[in-house]
């Protein structure tokens, strides 16, 4: 089927689009190829996608309403996956409007097109960061989360509530996926694995926040791509007849008034940051020079996904452990950057 995937020049979008193409679907890949990080890396990903004749590139900004309307008219996508967004926590301190434009205005533009084009299933990327100040672990979709710690997380939480209202008003089957620290080859240069590996190779110091006392549920990108495709192509969410609107805490992950669902998509095996760094050092064969720093504003100390719902509904089982995942990243990094 014709599937619109936004963010295909990006890290996760590249893997998901590759998987959809390998399954024989036509992928309309929307991306504005912005310069938030190295544009050459984005172009290299796109070059690989272009090797498949079923990949159609649409170089477009989600903010461009008219362009988006034409795109839907021309290609008539059946299902839509939104991965395009302004990511990152620190960048928002200096560039808040990048988040407002892409994650809020762009998101509503896409919802409007889903509304007017009878889309079978709209799936969008949310983030583990929406759990913000929640300390109960593992993070469960049934828990409320209303205390985001960054503008990035706040815009993603806004996506979830906007999506619920569109799903309710216009009967759009909608699924939000909360990604947990995605890593792997072709990864993002603003994320810890990339920065740490590059600096270890170059003999430069790495900044390690909260004195290394952090725990993350690192999730390998191919596991993510597998899970996203299962959800996007599989059975669409329905109104939950058992949803209890009289409860003091109505379940936020499903809805009695909309075909709407939220899932965590993580590895469910959290790893201490210092162990993650040790695996990189072993893989590269060199010690990191570490600058221990206090915690950064907007950061959480621990993340851990409860994946039970995604396992029950879609048989999602992440396969790649952190040793194998970091090995694959370092191998890619050596080949791509000729180290």
Which residues contact residue 158 at a Cβ distance below 8 angstroms, ignoring those fewer than 6 apart? 103, 104, 107
Q: Is 152 a catalytic residue?
A: yes
Nearest approach in angstroms of CB 279 to ligand NAD is 17
> Which span (55-63, 241-249, 251-259, 290-298) binds ligand NAD, by CB under 6 A?
55-63
Q: Which residue, 32 or 254, is less far from ligand NAD as judged by CB?
A: 32
Q: Which of residues 90-129 bind ligand NAD (CB under 6 A)?
A: 102, 106, 125, 127
Nearest residue relative to ligand NAD (C-beta) = 10
Q: Which residue, 30 or 262, is less far from ligand NAD as judged by CB?
A: 30
Interface with ligand NAD includes 89 (CB under 6 A)?
no
- Whose CA is closest to 313, among 177, 148, 128, 120? 177
Which residues contact residue 273 at a Cβ distance below 8 angstroms, ignoring those fewer than 6 apart? 192, 208, 212, 213, 214, 215, 216
Q: Which residue, 238 or 301, is less far from ligand NAD as judged by CB?
A: 301
Q: Which residue, 87 or 119, is less far from ligand NAD as judged by CB?
A: 87
Nearest approach in angstroms of CB 190 to ligand NAD is 8
Nearest approach in angstroms of CB 326 to ligand NAD is 15
Interface with ligand NAD includes 13 (CB under 6 A)?
yes
Cα torsion 281, 286, 287, 290: sign: negative
Q: Which residue, 12 or 206, is less far from ligand NAD as judged by CB?
A: 12
**Which string of DSSP letters, residue by residue, matches 110-179?**
HHHHHHHTT-SEEEEEEEGGGGTT--SSSB-TTS------SHHHHHHHHHHHHHHHHHHHH---EEEEEE
CA distances from 191 to 90, 145, 185, 305 (A): 11, 24, 12, 19
Question: Distance (Å, rounded) from C-alpha 6 to C-alpha 12?
Answer: 10
Catalytic residue among 91, 99, 131, 152: 152
Tell me, what DSSP letter sits at residue 53?
T
Q: Which residue, 43 or 205, is less far from ligand NAD as judged by CB?
A: 43
Interface with ligand NAD includes 63 (CB under 6 A)?
yes
CA distances from 236 to 29, 74, 107, 122, 243 (A): 22, 24, 20, 9, 17
Q: Which of residues 174-203 bind ligand NAD (CB under 6 A)?
A: 179, 181-182, 188
Nearest approach in angstroms of CB 45 to ligand NAD is 8
Alpha helices for 171-216 (secondary structure H):
192-202
Interface with ligand NAD includes 326 (CB under 6 A)?
no
Per-residue binding string, ligand NAD, 17-36, x by CB under 6 A, is -------------xxxxx--
Q: Residue 257 has which token pair?
A: 């008034």
Catalytic residues: 152
Q: Enumerate binding residues for ligand NAD (CB under 6 A).
A: 7, 9-13, 30-34, 42, 61-63, 83-87, 102, 106, 125, 127, 179, 181-182, 188
């Amino acid at each position: 089927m014709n599937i619109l995937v936004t963010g295909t020049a990006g890290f996760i979008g590249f893997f998901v689009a590759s998987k959809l193409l390998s399954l024989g679907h036509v992928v309309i890949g929307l991306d504005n190829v912005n310069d938030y990080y190295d544009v050459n890396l984005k172009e290299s990903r796109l070059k690989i996608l272009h090797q498949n004749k079923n990949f159609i590139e649409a170089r477009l900004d989600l903010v461009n309403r008219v362009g988006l309307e034409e795109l839907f008219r021309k290609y008539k996508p059946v299902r839509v996956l939104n991965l395009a967004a302004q990511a990152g926590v620190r960048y928002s301190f200096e560039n808040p409007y990048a988040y407002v434009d892409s994650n809020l205005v762009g998101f509503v533009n896409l919802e409007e097109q889903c509304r007017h084009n009878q889309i079978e299933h709209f799936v969008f990327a949310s983030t583990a960061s929406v759990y913000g100040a929640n300390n109960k672990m593992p993070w469960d979709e049934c828990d409320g989360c209303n205390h985001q710690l960054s503008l990035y997380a706040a815009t993603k939480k806004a996506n979830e509530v906007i999506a619920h209202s569109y799903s309710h008003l216009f009967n759009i089957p909608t699924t939000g996926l909360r990604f947990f620290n995605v890593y792997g080859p072709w990864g993002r240069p603003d994320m810890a694995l990339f920065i740490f590996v590059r600096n270890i190779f170059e003999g430069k110091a790495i900044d390690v926040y909260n004195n290394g006392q952090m725990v993350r549920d690192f999730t390998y990108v191919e596991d993510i791509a597998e899970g996203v495709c299962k959800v996007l192509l599989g059975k669409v969410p329905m109104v939950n007849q058992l949803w209890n609107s009289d409860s003091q805490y109505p379940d936020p992950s499903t809805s009695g008034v909309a075909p709407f669902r939220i899932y965590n998509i993580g590895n469910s095996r959290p790893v201490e940051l210092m162990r993650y760094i040790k695996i990189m050092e072993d893989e590269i064969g060199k010690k990191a020079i570490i600058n221990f720093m206090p915690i950064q504003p907007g950061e959480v100390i621990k993340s851990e996904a409860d994946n039970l719902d995604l396992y029950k509904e879609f048989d999602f089982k992440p396969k790649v452990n952190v040793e194998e995942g970091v090995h694959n990243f370092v191998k890619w990094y050596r080949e791509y950057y000729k180290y």
